[in-house]
Every structure is written in structure tokens, then in C-alpha cells.
Amino acid sequence: MSDLLGQGIYFFNAGRYFEAHESWEDLWRVTQGPLRLFYQGLVQAAVGLHHLQQGNLNGARAQLTKSVAKLEGYPPRLCQIENDKLVNDLRQILQEGEWRPIVIVHDQKPVVQSEG
């Protein structure tokens, strides 16, 4: 897993969606091929959740809808991420229209950066 992907997951799981978006956008910019749209879907998920945290429901819905459309086209597990869980969590947030923390599961456990 690339450092930028791991950093983005760490920030996302900590509710730091702007920073997650920044890490994944850097990764997306340098990626070619089929993973490019997957990374773009991650960027859009982070942006959508950031909008939702800020009370921008329209912006959140637009970005989360784009994210789900991209991510659902990929396998249930990709880049060691439980993509099907992420997509289902994002769909639930779209239906509810309310922010709640979600965690990207990596290898059956959340990615957490060690302190120290």
C-alpha cells in the first residue's frame, strides 16, 4: 500500500476528511490506469464527508453520489481495503443525510497510525 493511500486512510478514520482528500488527491494525480478512478472515488468520499460535517448537504450529496458510483464498480476488496463496506457505509450516509463517523477497514482492522 502506498504511503499516500495509508496516510489518507489514517486521516479519514480520524475524521480529518480535508487531509484525507489532500493525500488521496496527490495519489490520484500520479496514478494511471484502472486505480485512478478508485482513488478519485476515495477523494470524493472525503470531500463529501467534509461537506457534510460543515453542514453543506447539497455539496455532500453530490460528492458522495459520485464517490459511490465510482467505488461500486470495483471489487469488494481492493488495495487491502474493504471496499464493499465503505460503499455500503457511504450509501447509508446518503440515505440518512446526516454525518456520522465511518471507518475504512484495512486487513480486517482500521488503519491507525502509531504514536511515537
Domain assignment of residue 96, yes or no: yes
Examine residue 88 and state whether it is found in any structural domain, yes or no: yes
- Phi, psi angle pair for 110, to nearest 5°: -65, 145
pLDDT tens column, 62-91:
999 999 999 999 999 999 899 999 999 999
pLDDT digits (tens, 9 = 90+) for 3-34: 999 999 999 999 999 999 999 999 999 999 99
Which domain range does residue 59 map to?
3-100
What is the residue whose three cell numbers read 482513488?
A: 39
Tally of structural domains, the chain:
1
SS3 of 109, please? strand
Residue 116 domain-assigned (yes or no): no
What contacts 64, CB < 8 A, 6 or more positions away?
A: 44, 45, 48, 49, 52, 90, 93, 94
What CATH number does residue 27 fall under?
Answer: 1.10.3450.10
Looking at the domain assignment, is residue 106 inside a domain? Answer: no
* pTM (predicted TM-score): 0.89
86 in any annotated domain: yes
In the structure, what pLDDT confidence band is assigned to residue 107 with cuts at 50, 70 and 90? confident
